[in-house]
């Protein structure tokens, strides 16, 4: 694992910390590829049920590394498949991934958080897509995922002005699921992730696929996908265990089958 990524295991939770404090956790290839390797190792680990991605208390990530990008030309970006090549690893992760955001989540940092399944924010979190100030536009999904999360008006406002929004505004507009005191963010997120990881992993994967389908298809197709997936859940031992445990007034023991 590169120095810029810290990988920790907390019982059934895999924690990935971006660790480039001198550059506000700006995202270069080393960081992005480190996140990709950590994700792959947690996905391959049957003991891990949920993954948390975080930075430090000052920055989740202040964007793509401007120093590394400054001299790119079109052919370098296009032929090197900039962003698609390694950033989108998060998109293919089948286990739940939570972004725990403290401090700045700007540009590519905000886009990285948007690729996660949900976002928990610290009180000091600041979200923004300031690419317009650099003479470019959000290029890692910001113009597509932000409007889906917060609606067109707010997304246009953030992309056009490059301004930052705080955690309260981010929660109000639906970008963020919950807000925690800054010093408690990671512990609280890990605690929630432990609860999630205690459920049946195949069910979590079915939930993730079904919710994500809502952003890819019509309501009728999405409902059909959900219904078929729901039907499929009755083939799981974990469904029998969950319902039996409820009726026997005991805690279920899920075995991911
Ligand atoms: N890249 C590189 N270094 C960064 C950085 C970044 N994004 N953000 C901060 N740093 C570095 C600073 O240069 C500084 O380094 P030294 O001068 O100490 O060497 C150090 O981190 C501390 O930053 P500051 O001194 O600026 O700290 P402050 O507390 O004063 O301000 C800040 C913090 C986060 C408000 C400020 O650093 C800032 O505004 N940073 C830039 C934020 C930003 O513009 N982010 C968007 C980056 S552009 C594309 C796909 C994707 C993208 C683009 C194209 N294509 C497919 C074509 C994505 C673009 C972006 O993400």
Q: Which pLDDT score, from 0 to 100, does residue 250 have?
A: 98
Mutate to test the pocket of ligand 1, among 18, 20, 24 (most ligand atoms within 8 A of CB): 24
**Model confidence at 79, in pLDDT bands (50, 70, 90)?**
confident
* Percent helix, percent strand, percent coil in the chain, to nearest 5: 50, 15, 35
Question: Strand 118-122 vs strand 97-101: parallel, antiparallel, or unpaired?
Answer: parallel
pLDDT score of 33: 93
pLDDT of residue 87: 80
At 245, list the tokens: 């445990």
The active-site residue out of 49, 55, 107, 108 is: 108
Q: What is the mean pLDDT of residues 237-250?
A: 98
3-state secondary structure 12-68: CEEEEEECCHHHCCCECHHHHHHHHHHHHHHHHCCCCCEEEEECCCCEEECCECHHH
In this prediction, residue 118 has a pLDDT band, given cuts at 50, 70 and 90, of very high
Average pLDDT of the chain?
96
- The Cα–Cα gap between 40 and 33 comes to 10
Atom of ligand 1 nearest to the CA of 109: 61
Q: Is the pLDDT of residue 77 over 90?
A: no
pLDDT tens string 187-231: 999 999 999 999 999 999 999 999 999 999 999 999 999 999 999
Q: In whole angstroms, how far apart are CA 97 and each of 134, 143, 205?
A: 30, 21, 11
Confidence of residue 177 (pLDDT cuts 50, 70, 90): very high
Residues lining ligand 1, judged by CB closer than 6 Å? 23-24, 26, 62-67, 77, 82-83, 104, 106-108, 130-131, 134, 136, 139-140
């Amino acid at each position: 694992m590169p120095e810029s990524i810290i990988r920790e295991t907390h019982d059934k939770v895999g924690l990935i910390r971006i660790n480039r404090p001198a550059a506000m956790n700006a995202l270069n290839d080393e960081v992005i590829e480190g996140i990709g390797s950590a994700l792959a190792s947690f996905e391959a680990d049957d003991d891990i049920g949920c993954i948390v991605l975080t930075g430090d208390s000052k920055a989740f990530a202040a964007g793509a590394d401007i120093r590394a990008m400054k001299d790119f030309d079109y052919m370098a970006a296009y032929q090197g498949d900039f962003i698609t090549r390694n950033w989108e690893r998060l998109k293919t992760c089948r286990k739940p991934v939570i972004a725990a955001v403290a401090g700045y989540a700007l540009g590519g940092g905000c886009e990285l958080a948007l690729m996660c399944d949900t976002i928990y924010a610290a009180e000091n979190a600041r979200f923004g897509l300031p690419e317009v100030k650099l003479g470019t536009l959000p290029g890692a999904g910001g113009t597509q995922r932000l409007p889906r999360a917060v609606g067109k008006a707010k997304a246009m406002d953030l992309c056009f002005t490059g301004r930052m929004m705080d955690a309260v505004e981010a929660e109000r507009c639906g970008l963020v699921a919950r807000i925690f005191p800054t010093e408690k963010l990671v512990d609280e997120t890990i605690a929630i992730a432990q609860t999630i990881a205690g459920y049946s992993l195949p069910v979590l994967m079915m939930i993730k696929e079904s919710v994500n389908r809502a952003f890819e298809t019509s309501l009728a197709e999405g409902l059909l996908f959900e219904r078929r997936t729901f039907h499929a859940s009755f083939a799981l031992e974990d469904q029998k265990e969950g319902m039996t445990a409820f009726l026997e007034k005991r805690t279920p023991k899920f075995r991911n089958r």
